[in-house]
Amino acid sequence: MALKKFRPLTPGQRFKLVSDNADITTGKPEKSLLVPVKKSGGRDNTGKMTIRYIGGGHKQQYRIIDFKRDKNGVPATVKTIEYDPNRTARIALVVYADGEKRYIVAPTGLTVGQKLLSGKDALPNIGNALYLSDIPLGTIIHNIELRPGQGAIMARSAGSSAQLSARDGKYAIIKMPSGETRMILVTCMATIGAVSNADHNLEISGKAGRTRWQGRRPRTRPVAMNPVDHPMGGGEGRASGGHPRSRKGLPSKGYKTRYPKKASNKYIIEGRKK
């Protein structure tokens, strides 16, 4: 995948830098795996705005993604690589030998026509889903389960990946994308390879309107607000609101908000890098 730069024929194209979509093989999604998405606009069931800066945006349909990869031992063939408006990564439509179709998060290097397999019999090839007990040490992985059978919840966004460092008894030691090193049960599953669309973080929208298409409204600086609206608001002229803090008054920029007695602390060997 590469990025596409534009000639500055319009102001919105001057700094625009987007994906060339060369890896996408079709623009037509699989109808049986689509469900409608109703936008909230940041409002709750009473119509009150509870989350700011959300609203508008292009209409989208949700693609049902198979994060469990629980069809063990049944070979599948990659039919298409597609764009998904609900996530930063590309998705792949796979067709199993029994005719069932599913979407998976496409790893880097996955090609149309490639054979995939999950379970004990699978080889550690790109796109195959294996148990952490069967993956060779040092392998780059993504779509990692935190609890057996839960489905992948870690390392799912564009370009992200983790590394299987070691195994100790019933636990695997994994270096996470954040830099955190933690233990996960070896009975959890993960997929081989890194997530596709690695250049996503380099994209530049080029204009404010493109952000509105994504359903994001303009964000107001807290310093420009009144004291009643934000802890950083108020002051005479351009005076700032004192120490950086959130809308709820919690200090930001280095203030640790993780509960020190959290149950999962015992599984974390080394904290994430700042």
Residue in the structure block whose two tokens are 């909230």: 40
d(CA 217, CA 57): 9
Closest CA to 145 of 116, 178, 127, 172: 172
Pairing of strands 115-116, 129-131: unpaired
pLDDT of 51 higher than 90: yes
Does a structural domain hold residue 221? no
Does a structural domain hold residue 14? yes
pLDDT tens digits, one per residue of 233-256? 998 888 887 888 888 899 988 888
d(CA 147, CA 44): 31
Does a structural domain hold residue 217? no
- Tokens read off for 56: 């508008």
Mean pLDDT of the region 96-100: 97
Which structural domain, as residue segments, surrounds residue 158? Answer: 3-201+263-270
Does a structural domain hold residue 125? yes
d(CA 60, CA 40): 13
Does a structural domain hold residue 231? no
Does a structural domain hold residue 18? yes
pLDDT of 274 higher than 70: no
Does a structural domain hold residue 21? yes
pLDDT of 203 higher than 80: yes
**The pLDDT value given to residue 199:** 95
Q: Which CATH number is 105's domain given? A: 2.40.50.140
Does a structural domain hold residue 167? yes
Q: How many domains does the chain have?
A: 1
**The pLDDT value given to residue 119:** 95
**The pLDDT value given to residue 239:** 85
